[in-house]
C-alpha cells in the first residue's frame, strides 16, 4: 500500500516486537511488556495479534485469519483484508495451507505442524487479574510463582457448583512454571496447546504484553486429582459435516427455539 | 445461510458506503470544509489535538470531519496516523514564561505582575441560547484590544517560590532522555514525567470526573488555581549538526498551575505543593482537571495515604486513555458465540445436575501437580 511499510509497521517497530517475541519464547508463558503501537484498528479488536503477525510475516507467507473458528466472521474478514492490503500476502481459509494462523477465540480442529505459527489475539493477558486487580501485585505473584489464589478460586468453584465453573480462557501452567491465560478459547481447545509442534504466540495490544509457548512445551490445564480437567462434549454431531469430535456452535434457526449444531471451525 | 454476524467482505464494503453517505448528510446542503472546522470548531480541534498527541490543526479538523464530529473517533484517527510518523528528536522544553499571552488569570492574588488578562472566555457568558447565530452572514464587531507588554510574563507561583512557601520545581534528572509513553510500555511505579504525558493524552471527561472527586473529598488536597495561561510559545529544536537550538515553529498551549495545601512532615516544613496541567490549544477544563489529578497522584511521593481512586496511579493511568477504553468496551460487539456456547454447555450441565437432585460433588482434596 502506498505510503506505508510492508505489513504496515515500520521496521524499527518490527524489530522491537521480534525482540519481545524472542524473549517470550525463551521464557515460556512469561508476559513480556512491549511498546504496543497504536494500530488503525481499535484496541480490543486484535491489535496485539495484528502486531505480532505484522512482525513475523514475510512476502512468502500464507495467512489464515479466524474469529470464533470461522474465516467469514466480520472481524476475521477485516483483519485478513488489512494484511492483504498492507502486505499483499496470500491468504487462505485452509488450515493446512497456512504458514501463519491468526486467531480469536479458537484453535483450529486440524492439528498444526511444526512449520506453522499460531498467533492468538489476547484481550486480557493476566490470568490473576480477576483475583488481583493490580499489575504491580500480579507481577510479584508471577515472580514468586505464588498461584495459590487461583487454586483456591477453583476449589471454591467445586465447593459451590460441584465443578470448576470456567468454560473458556481456562488457566494453564506452562512448562511447570508460569500460570498463563490461553486467551478466551473454549477449554475444549486447551489440550491442543499441550506439547504441540506449532509455535504459539500471544499478543495483547491494549495491555502491551506478548507471551509465547514454544513447540513441544507442556501446557497443563489446572485441576485437582479428584476433579480432573475435562472438556465440553455434545450429544449432537455437526449438522453440516457430521463431525462428532469438534466444537459445535448452537444456531437458533426459528423463533420457536428450534436449533441446530454446526462446527465452529469453518475449515 | 444462517448467521447474521457472518457477514463477508461485501457486507463490510456496503457498510462503509452507507457510512460515507451518512457522513455527508443532506447533499442539498453545502459540504463542510476542514478549514471551517479548524477555524470555527476550534475547541473541538484543540481537544482532538491534545488527546491525539499531535499538533496539526488541519489533520485534526480532517479527523473531526471524517468522524462526523465524534471527537473520540477523531482522536483515534489522529493517533493511528501519528504512530506511523518517524521521530527525529525531542524539542527543547517549551518556556511558558516567554509565552505570548492571550489570557492569563490567577485566583490566588488580586493582581499580579503582568496583570490579569481575561481574554476570550465562556466564564462570564450567560448561557442563553443566542438565536441570532441561527442566521448566518454577519461578522461580529471587532473586540477592543489593549496593547500587551511583549516582555516575559513570570509565573505567579514563582513569586511564592521566592519566599520558599511553595515546593521548588525540581528537574529531577535534567540530562535524562524524555520518556515517551507511546514508545515504551508503562511500568509501575511511574515517574511524574510519564504520568503527566499519560494525563495530557487522557480523556478529558475521565480526568474531569477524577479531579471533581478530589474536590469532593476522595483524596482531598485543597487546590487553588494559582495560574492559568493561554497563548503561543515557540518550539525550539537543536539539530545535531548545528549544536544550538533553532526555532522551528510555534504552538498554542494552555497551562494550569494549581497550588495545594500540604501540612509538612518531619523532614519538611509546611509549604504549598503543586499540580500541573498542559494541553494544546485552549483547553482549560482539561488542564485544570489534569493538574488536580497530577497532584493527587503525587500522594506516594509526598508521603500521603493512597486511599482514593484519583491517587491510585495504576487505576488512573490504566483507564484514562479513551482510545484504549473505547476499543475495549466496544469490542463486546464482536462475536463471542464460542465463549457463550461454552457457558451454555456448562450452565445446562449444572442445571441438569441440580434438577436431578444430584448431591454436589465433594470438594477436592488435593491439587493435581502433574509431571510438567
Residues from chain A that touch B9, judged by Cβ atoms under 8 A, are: 77, 81
- The CA distance from B265 to the nearest CA of chain A, in Å, is 27
Say whether A232 and B370 touch across the interface (CB within 8 A): no
Residues 6+ apart with CB under 8 A from B317: B186, B190, B195, B198
The DSSP-derived string for A87-122 is: T--EE-S-GGG-SEEEEES---SSPP-TT-EEEEE-
Q: Which of residues 230-259 of A touch B (CB under 8 A)?
A: 232, 234, 247-251, 253
Q: Facing residues of A259 across strands?
A: A252
Res B367: pLDDT? 64
Task: With CA atoms as reference, report the closest residue to A158 among B344, B235, B359.
Answer: B359
Res B362: pLDDT? 64
H helix runs in B243-367, sequence order: 284-297, 313-319, 322-330, 337-355
CB-nearest to A168 from B184, B185, B342 is B342
Q: What is the pLDDT of residues A100-140, one digit of tens each?
A: 999 999 999 999 999 999 999 999 999 999 999 999 999 99
Q: What is the pLDDT of chain B when averaged over all its residues?
A: 89
Residue A175 pLDDT level (bands cut at 50, 70, 90): very high
Tell me whether B86 touches chain A (CB under 8 Å): yes
Q: What is the pLDDT of chain A when averaged over all its residues?
A: 93
- Chain B: residue nearest A124 by CA? B328
Peptide bond into B248 cis (omega under 30): no
Q: Find cell 462434549 and name the residue.
A: A233
- The CA distance from A120 to the nearest CA of chain B, in Å, is 15
- Is residue B366 over pLDDT 70? no
CB-defined contacts A:B, below 8 A: 182
* CA angle (B318, B93, B197) in 5-degree steps: 5
What gap in Å lies between CA A69 and CA A249, rounded to an integer?
10
Higher pLDDT, A142 or A163: A142
Q: Which of residues 44-103 of A touch B (CB under 8 A)?
A: 44-45, 47, 67-70, 72-75, 77-78, 81
Tell me whether B339 touches chain A (CB under 8 Å): yes
Task: With CA atoms as reference, report the closest residue to B167 among B271, B293, B300, B276.
Answer: B271
- Cell numbers placing B269: 516544613
- The CA distance from B343 to the nearest CA of chain A, in Å, is 6
Spell B326-361 as b/e; 16+ CB within 10 A means b.
Answer: bbbeebeebbbbbbbbbeebbeebeeebeeeeeeee
- The CA distance from A162 to the nearest CA of chain B, in Å, is 5
Assess contact for A101 and A119: CB atoms under 8 A: yes
CB-nearest to A220 from B186, B335, B370 is B370
B370 Cα distance to chain centroid = 49
Complex ipTM tops 0.90:
no
Q: What is the pLDDT of residues A22-59, one digit of tens each?
A: 999 999 999 999 999 989 999 999 999 999 999 999 99
Q: Find cell 454447555 and name the residue.
A: B345
Tell which of B82, B181, B364, B366 to mutate to test the A interface (max A CBs under 10 Å): B364
Q: What percent of chain B has pLDDT over 90?
A: 58
Q: What is the pLDDT of residues B227-238, one digit of tens each?
A: 999 999 999 999
CB-nearest to A74 from B5, B341, B342 is B5
Say whether B338 and A47 touch across the interface (CB within 8 A): no
Say whether B338 and A176 touch across the interface (CB within 8 A): no
- Is residue A184 over pLDDT 60? yes
- The CA distance from A263 to the nearest CA of chain B, in Å, is 10
Q: Which of A32-46, A222-236, B274-288 has the highest mean pLDDT?
A: B274-288
Tell which of B334, B340, B365 to mutate to test the A interface (max A CBs under 10 Å): B334
Q: Which of A33-47, A201-215, A248-262 has the lowest mean pLDDT?
A: A248-262
Say whether B367 and A225 touch across the interface (CB within 8 A): yes
Q: What is the pLDDT of residues B311-323, one digit of tens each?
A: 999 999 999 999 9
Q: What is the pLDDT of residues B188-204, one digit of tens each?
A: 999 999 999 999 999 99
In the predicted model, what is the mean pLDDT of residues B342-364? 77
Please tell me the pTM assigned to this model. 0.89
In the predicted model, what is the mean pLDDT of residues A204-215? 97
Q: Facing residues of B236 across strands?
A: B247
Task: With CA atoms as reference, report the closest residue to B231 among B114, B141, B124.
Answer: B114
Strands A62-67 and A100-104: parallel
Q: Find cell 512448562 and name the residue.
A: A175
What gap in Å lies between CA B323 and CA B77, rounded to an integer?
10
Reported as type and span, the H/E element at residue B224 is strand B223-237
Amino acid at each position: 500500500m502506498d505510503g506505508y511499510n510492508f505489513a504496515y509497521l515500520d521496521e524499527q517497530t518490527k524489530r522491537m516486537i521480534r525482540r519481545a517475541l524472542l524473549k517470550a519464547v525463551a521464557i515460556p508463558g512469561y508476559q513480556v511488556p512491549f511498546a504496543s503501537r497504536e494500530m488503525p484498528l481499535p484496541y480490543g479488536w486484535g491489535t496485539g495479534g495484528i502486531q505480532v503477525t505484522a512482525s513475523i510475516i514475510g512476502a512468502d507467507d500464507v495467512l489464515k485469519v479466524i474469529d470464533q473458528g470461522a474465516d467469514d466472521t466480520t472481524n476475521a474478514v477485516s483483519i485478513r483484508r488489512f494484511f492483504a492490503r498492507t502486505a499483499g500476502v496470500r491468504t487462505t481459509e485452509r488450515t493446512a495451507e497456512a504458514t501463519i494462523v491468526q486467531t480469536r477465540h479458537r484453535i483450529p480442529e486440524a492439528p498444526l505442524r511444526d512449520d506453522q505459527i499460531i498467533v492468538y489475539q489476547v484481550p486480557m493477558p493476566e490470568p490473576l487479574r480477576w483475583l488481583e486487580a493490580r499489575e504491580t501485585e500480579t507481577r510479584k505473584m508471577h515472580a514468586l510463582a505464588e498461584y495459590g489464589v487461583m487454586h483456591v478460586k477453583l476449589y471454591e468453584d467445586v465447593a459451590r457448583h460441584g465443578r470448576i465453573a470456567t468454560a473458556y480462557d481456562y488457566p494453564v501452567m506452562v512448562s511447570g512454571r508460569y500460570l498463563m491465560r490461553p486467551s478466551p478459547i473454549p477449554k475444549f481447545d486447551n489440550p491442543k496447546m499441550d506439547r504441540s509442534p506449532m509455535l504459539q504466540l500471544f499478543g495483547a495490544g491494549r495491555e502491551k504484553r506478548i507471551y509465547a509457548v514454544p513447540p513441544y512445551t507442556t501446557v497443563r490445564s489446572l485441576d485437582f486429582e479428584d476433579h480432573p480437567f475435562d472438556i465440553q462434549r455434545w450429544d449432537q454431531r455437526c449438522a453440516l459435516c457430521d463431525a462428532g469430535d469438534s466444537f459445535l456452535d448452537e444456531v437458533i434457526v426459528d423463533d420457536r427455539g428450534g436449533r441446530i449444531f454446526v462446527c465452529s471451525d469453518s475449515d | 445461510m444462517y448467521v447474521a454476524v457472518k457477514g463477508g467482505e461485501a457486507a463490510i464494503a456496503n457498510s462503509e458506503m452507507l457510512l460515507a453517505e451518512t457522513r455527508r448528510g443532506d447533499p442539498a446542503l453545502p459540504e463542510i470544509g476542514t478549514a471551517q472546522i479548524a477555524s470555527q470548531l476550534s475547541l473541538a480541534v484543540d481537544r482532538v489535538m491534545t488527546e491525539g498527541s499531535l499538533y496539526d490543526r488541519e489533520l485534526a479538523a480532517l479527523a473531526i470531519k471524517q468522524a462526523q464530529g465524534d471527537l473520540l473517533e477523531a482522536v483515534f484517527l489522529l493517533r493511528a496516523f501519528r504512530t506511523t510518523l518517524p521521530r527525529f528528536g525531542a524539542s527543547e522544553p517549551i518556556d511558558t514564561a516567554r509565552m505570548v499571552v492571550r489570557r492569563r488569570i490567577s485566583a490566588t492574588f488580586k493582581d499580579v505582575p503582568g496583570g490579569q488578562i481575561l481574554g476570550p472566555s465562556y466564564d462570564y457568558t450567560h448561557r442563553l441560547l443566542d438565536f441570532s447565530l441561527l442566521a448566518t452572514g454577519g461578522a461580529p464587531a471587532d473586540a477592543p484590544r489593549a496593547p500587551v507588554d511583549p516582555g516575559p510574563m513570570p509565573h505567579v507561583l514563582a513569586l511564592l517560590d521566592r519566599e520558599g512557601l511553595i515546593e521548588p520545581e525540581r528537574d529531577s534528572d535534567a540530562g535524562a532522555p524524555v520518556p515517551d509513553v507511546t514508545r515504551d510500555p508503562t511500568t509501575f511505579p511511574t515517574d511524574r514525567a510519564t504520568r503527566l504525558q499519560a494525563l495530557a493524552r487522557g480523556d478529558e471527561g475521565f480526568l474531569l470526573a477524577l479531579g471533581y472527586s478530589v474536590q469532593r473529598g476522595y483524596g482531598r488536597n485543597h487546590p487553588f488555581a494559582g495560574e492559568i495561561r493561554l497563548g503561543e510559545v515557540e518550539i525550539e529544536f537543536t539539530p545535531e549538526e548545528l549544536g544550538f537550538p533553532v526555532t522551528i515553529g510555534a504552538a498554542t498551549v494552555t497551562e494550569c498551575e494549581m497550588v495545594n495545601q500540604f501540612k509538612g512532615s518531619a523532614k519538611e516544613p509546611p509549604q504549598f505543593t503543586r499540580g500541573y496541567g498542559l494541553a494544546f490549544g485552549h483547553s482549560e477544563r482539561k488542564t485544570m482537571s489534569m493538574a488536580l489529578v497530577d497532584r493527587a497522584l503525587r500522594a506516594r511521593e509526598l508521603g500521603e495515604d493512597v486511599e482514593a481512586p484519583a491517587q491510585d496511579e495504576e487505576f488512573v493511568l490504566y483507564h484514562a486513555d479513551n482510545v484504549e477504553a473505547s476499543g475495549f468496551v466496544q469490542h463486546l460487539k464482536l462475536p463471542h458465540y464460542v465463549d457463550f456456547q461454552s457457558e451454555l454447555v456448562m450452565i445446562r450441565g449444572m442445571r441438569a445436575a441440580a434438577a436431578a437432585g444430584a448431591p454436589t460433588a465433594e470438594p477436592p482434596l488435593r491439587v493435581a501437580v502433574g509431571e510438567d
